Amino acid sequence: MKNTLTIIFILLLSHTQAQYIYPDQEVAVLVNNKELVVQLLPESSGVEKALNKVLRETFQEYWPSKNVKYMFPKGIKALLKSKTQKYAILTQTESLGKQIKSLSAYANGSMEQWILGASKEATPEQKDALVNFNYEQVELEYHEHKLSVFDGKREKIATIITFANGNLGKHDYVFLCQQLRHLLKSAAAGVPIDEFWNVEDNIKALRKTKYSLLEDYFKEEEAAQIDKSLVNLYTFVPFEAYQKIIVEKTQGRSYPKIIFSFLHGKFMWVMVRSSDGRILSINSCNNYKFTGSYPVDEMIRSGDVYKSMDTSIQILFNKYR
């Protein structure tokens, strides 16, 4: 464990740009030439079964290769122990956090219903649950997906994609696939890290989109404080529309997402272009660094919506280490 943490720390110092670890070119090439194995959650309840179902569906639709294998934690551990060079392995935090499992929505089945509402096989009841879903609290519980591959007997980490918690939906898995694909494609092609994340280019691209702001993130009185000069650049949307924009890769839109940023060592929010999943801006998440349960409409300050497309502020966030 100590050696693993040391490796990750070194990677963070030399390869982190804006939010996630940028892969070494040789590692990216290795991963691209392997079959992918994806870790599932242990199915201790209907919620985990729903998450696994939606994860499988998403990778079948959004991953370039259809030869993806899926394993539960026990199988993944055996695979890692064998140091096999046949596969690239995408692990995830082994189970949902205690805060998520303590929610009444976890116990009464309503969480399971809205997750499955985005499934291709969703029932009318599940679709209704998705339509009626909204966030009140956000449970900050670090949840990661780590992509690695063995070169000889040595495990090499390509990147780690992090989420605010493990209570994910189809839109989160779409985001996961997109981030992995962007990072691997650019790194394998030898694109320098400073070109992969270029603040000036990102802001220009962001200004060409219309912000689709999840209405749950903002109090009504705070929403009125968003800079009036942006009135034609944003719209508030309910959760179902927010998820649809992401899953359907809607052109000309961008959306906010709360993540854990390795670069900053705390929870942040990013603006993501929905058409391809490119992260174009990273912003302070009301200084929440640690896990806990918080009102969802206190995570993003209304004034920071404008700052998310301010070049000088984005350069500052990008350079902070």
Segment 129-135 shows an average pLDDT of 93
Domain boundary among 157, 187, 217: 187
As a whole number, mean pLDDT of residues 233-260 equals 94
127 contacts 244 by C-beta, under 8 angstroms = no
Whether 205 maps to a domain, the answer reads yes
Q: Which of 152, 168, 187 is the last residue of a domain?
A: 187
pLDDT at 306 over 80: yes
Residues 241 and 172 in one domain: no
How far is 135 from 115, CA to CA, in rounded Å? 13
**Which alpha helices (DSSP H) does 16-139 contain, by range?**
25-32, 46-62, 73-82, 98-101, 104-108, 110-116, 124-131
Going by pLDDT thresholds of 50, 70 and 90, the confidence category of residue 232 is low
Lowest mean pLDDT among 68-77, 260-269, 289-298, 311-320: 311-320
Residue 103 lies in a domain: no
Q: Are residues 67 and 45 in the same domain?
A: yes
* Percent with pLDDT over 70 in the chain: 90
Judge whether 124 lies within some domain: no
pTM (2 decimals)?
A: 0.92
Q: Does residue 143 sit in helix, strand or coil?
A: strand
Taking 80 as the threshold, does the pLDDT of residue 297 lie above it?
A: yes
Answer yes or no: do 162 and 250 share one domain: no
Mean of pLDDT values over 158-163: 95
Query: What is the C-alpha to C-alpha distance for residues 147 and 172, in angstroms, rounded to an integer?
Result: 16
| Structural domain boundaries, residue 9 | 2-97+143-187
Q: In whole numbers, what is the pLDDT of the chain averaged over residues?
A: 89
Residue 105 lies in a domain: no
Total domains present in the chain: 2
Confidence of residue 5 (pLDDT cuts 50, 70, 90): very low
Q: What is the pLDDT of residue 286?
A: 76
In a domain, 116, yes or no: no
Which pLDDT belongs to residue 7? 44
> Residue 50 domain-assigned?
yes
